[in-house]
Amino acid sequence: MPDITFITQIERESANGTTAVLKDYTVYTTPARDEIALFLKLVKRSAELVDTAITVDNNTPLTMTEWTFNLAGGGWYYASLYGFPFWAAGTYDENNCVYYLDNGRYYRCLIDGVSAIPTDTDFWEDITDDPTVIEEMDNTNVAVNFTHNFTTYDAEIPVGDELESLADQIIDGVPKDWEDTTLALLGLALLNGAWVKHYRVKNQQGQRIVDFINQRYPSRI
């Protein structure tokens, strides 16, 4: 299967900061979106490169273009996407993998030269419980790619409070509290810096900035 450059983005964070959506913006050509089964593995990655698994719904792999998930803090979310071809009559070699439309399950071929249907356990292994095992295999025909995703929803709250206060002072024409002004502008610089790190694929450093804001900003640094 040709490589697919997956494109995803976190959006629609809930007002209470509990959920968000990972949206698939990939432009599918060959194969088309309706010619593959898409499986997502999502983790929250810390500045120390520790991954925390995020539960997502992979029950509609033929049509899914967005996944709602529970947020586990702001910053870096690492997505692994797998595009499985549908099984079709033909010959498959060891570690070739397919999605079987007849029962909605994923399978791995056990030996070379197999023409049996995927439910034949002499020749196929059911990997539905963990399709990500293909990462450890050679000769797989699955399109695999990874995306770095970012959100600063939680860090924006304390910084936004400072900016709102500064804006009120400005439009009301009252004397400015220069400590508040400094904090507001510093927070804005930190947020922008976190996003610049993300855009430059320096997500570990971006996560450090988000952590700094969340740890220090409520106490006014």
Q: Of 130, 149, 168, which closes a domain?
A: 149
Do 125 and 160 share a structural domain?
Answer: no
Instruction: Label residue 195 exposed, middle or buried (CB < 10 Å: 0-12, 13-18, 19+).
Output: middle
For residue 135, give its domain range. 8-149
Is the pLDDT at 220 greater than 60, yes or no? no
Q: Residue 51: which H helix or E strand, with range?
A: strand 51-54
Chain position carrying tokens 């968000």: 20
As a whole number, the mean pLDDT across the chain is 93
Do 132 and 202 share a structural domain?
Answer: no
In this prediction, residue 175 carries a pLDDT of 66
Q: Structure pTM?
A: 0.89
Do 39 and 81 share a structural domain?
Answer: yes
Do 55 and 22 share a structural domain?
Answer: yes
Rounded to a whole number of angstroms, the distance between the first and last alpha carbons of the chain is 51
Does residue 220 belong to any structural domain of this protein? no
12/153 Cα distance (integer angstroms) = 10
Does residue 113 belong to any structural domain of this protein? yes
149/76 Cα distance (integer angstroms) = 6
Taking residues 135-162, report their average pLDDT: 90
Taking residues 145-158, report their average pLDDT: 93
Q: How many CB atoms lie within 10 A of CB 9?
A: 15
Question: Is residue 210 very low, low, confident or very high in pLDDT (cuts 50, 70, 90)?
Answer: very high
Is the pLDDT at 221 greater than 50, yes or no? no
Number of domains in the chain: 2
Does residue 221 belong to any structural domain of this protein? no
Do 172 and 136 share a structural domain?
Answer: no
Q: pLDDT by residue (tens digit) across 35-85?
A: 999 999 999 999 999 999 999 999 999 999 999 999 999 999 999 999 999
- Percentage of the chain beyond pLDDT 90 is 76
Taking residues 120-146, report their average pLDDT: 92
Q: Which of 133, 132, 150, 106 is nearest to 41 (CA)?
A: 132
- The DSSP string of 62-83 is TT--EEEEE--SSEEEEEEEEE
